[in-house]
Chain A
Amino acid sequence: MEARRHRTAVLAYAVVFIICVLWTGAAVLTPVFEAGVVSKATTMAKQDGGLLGWMGLAALRGMYHFVCHQIPERSFWIDGRPMAVCARCFGIYSGCLLGLLIYPLSSRFAEVENPPRVWLILSLVPVGVDFLGGYLGVFQNTDISRAITGLIAGFAAVFYVMPGLVATAANIVLAVNSLWRTGRRSYVRAATNI
């Protein structure tokens, strides 16, 4: 029982970790990809693979547009080009990745109970203060402040999201096993009836 729970937790963790690496990595590496596309083909009219590159780049930047405003002035730049997400979103995703790297080392790996919520609330305070302070004109926030406060929130969120994802994975595994057993039983029943 304990071994099965641990296996499910490992499965859930692996899936979430891979998705997080791909999501964050793609956002960070978009400028590098763009530089490669630019060096290969300067116009979309060229038929040497340049069009595909530009469309891929548009799809990549477009995907993040559904979750981020992508204002270049509020984004980190690499190689003279802005990332696909703003500084705050980059901080949140980096925080998630950092949290996921540390999560297996914590004693809560296969836990399905959440830690005390006070830490989650406290982790959201800096990002809230940074946003409201900048929005109301109390102070001028910077890319660094946005990224650091986002990183704190993203790091803490992992410890509150992962237990639920482990529980959800356990439910899915249970449902699939049950379906498999039911299907096999009905198959055996049908076979014996014949």
Chain B
Amino acid sequence: MVAKPSKMVPALVGGAVLGLLSSIPFISIGNYCCCLWVLAGGAVAAYMLIKRSPFLPVQSGDGAAVGALAGLVGSLIYLVIGVPLIILLGGNNFSAVFESVGRQMTDPEMARTFRELARTVQGSGGIVIALISWVINSVFYVVFGMLGGLIGVSMFEKRKGQPPMGPGGGYPPAQGPPYGPPPGAPYGQPPGNPYGQPPPGGGYGPGPGPGGGYGPYGGNTPPR
């Protein structure tokens, strides 16, 4: 039985891509295009998962899971890097939101009110507002990360259906027994050699006797 590869490393790498691109000012505006960096982070996570799974084809459900995990990791990276950057640079998402709302208002008085609101929000309550903005962002990161993972599997997974069969048929050999060592000790040692006595003279090298036993490693000794 072949175990599925761990999703942790792909999720961390995809999350790092997502979180860093979404945190850096100016570059982060890519997210205004249908959460582009979030989709990209999910797709990177799916790509890594496919590369780490040499035998089993990655299913789209696995892509969704690893993409969502990448979104979660990315939101944590955004909390560590993006939120402090926003606070340090004196801006926050809510200010941008009110600015945008004001821009879209056709009523001039309302547009002015929202622009003033944007300026007010920008100057005060930076940490709280940045944290609220982070919570809302996190929801979008998980959802769009999942979509990115799904699209990543569609793009990069060429294998279809069941895992490929090995030369002897069935799954490739697993590393060690999957369910631990076989029970033996609790039932005691079996009496005698379970495989019977080796035939005299048969098997490897000469039979038991003086100078007998199994021959040296490396095959038969050359004739002298």
What interface size band does chain B fall in? 35 or more
B61 A164 Cβ-Cβ under 8 A:
yes
A-B contacts at CB below 8 angstroms, number = 109
Indicate if A179 sits at the interface (CB-CB under 8 A).
no
Task: Report B-chain residues with C-beta under 8 Å of the C-beta of A120.
Answer: 151, 154-155
Q: A167 and B64 in contact (CB under 8 A), knowing A44-B113, A65-B96, A89-B34?
A: yes
A80 B64 Cβ-Cβ under 8 A:
no
Q: A168 and B64 in contact (CB under 8 A), knowing A66-B136, A92-B34, A121-B155?
A: yes
A160 B106 Cβ-Cβ under 8 A:
no
What interface size band does chain A fall in? 35 or more
Give, as a whole number of angstroms, the nearest-CB distance from A125 to chain B. 13
B100 A167 Cβ-Cβ under 8 A:
no
Indicate if A58 sits at the interface (CB-CB under 8 A).
yes
B137 A66 Cβ-Cβ under 8 A:
yes
Give, as a whole number of angstroms, the nearest-CB distance from B161 to chain A. 7
Which residues 92-111 in B have Cβ within 8 Å of A in the complex?
A: 93-94, 96-98, 100-101, 103-107, 109-110
Give, as a whole number of angstroms, the nearest-CB distance from A60 to chain B. 9
Q: A61 and B104 in contact (CB under 8 A), knowing A67-B140, A160-B154?
A: yes
B60 A167 Cβ-Cβ under 8 A:
yes
Cα distance A82–B101 in the bound complex, in angstroms = 11
A113 B150 Cβ-Cβ under 8 A:
no
Contact with B along A58-80 (1 / 0, CB 8 A): 10011101111110100000001
Q: Given A67-B35, A164-B154, 14 more contacts at CB 8 Å?
A: A42-B109, A58-B98, A58-B101, A65-B97, A67-B34, A68-B32, A70-B104, A161-B147, A161-B150, A167-B61, A167-B64, A168-B146, A170-B61, A171-B65
Give 17 CB contacts A-B under 8 Å: A34-B106, A42-B110, A65-B93, A65-B96, A66-B137, A67-B31, A67-B35, A70-B100, A70-B104, A81-B106, A114-B154, A114-B157, A121-B155, A161-B151, A164-B63, A167-B59, A168-B61
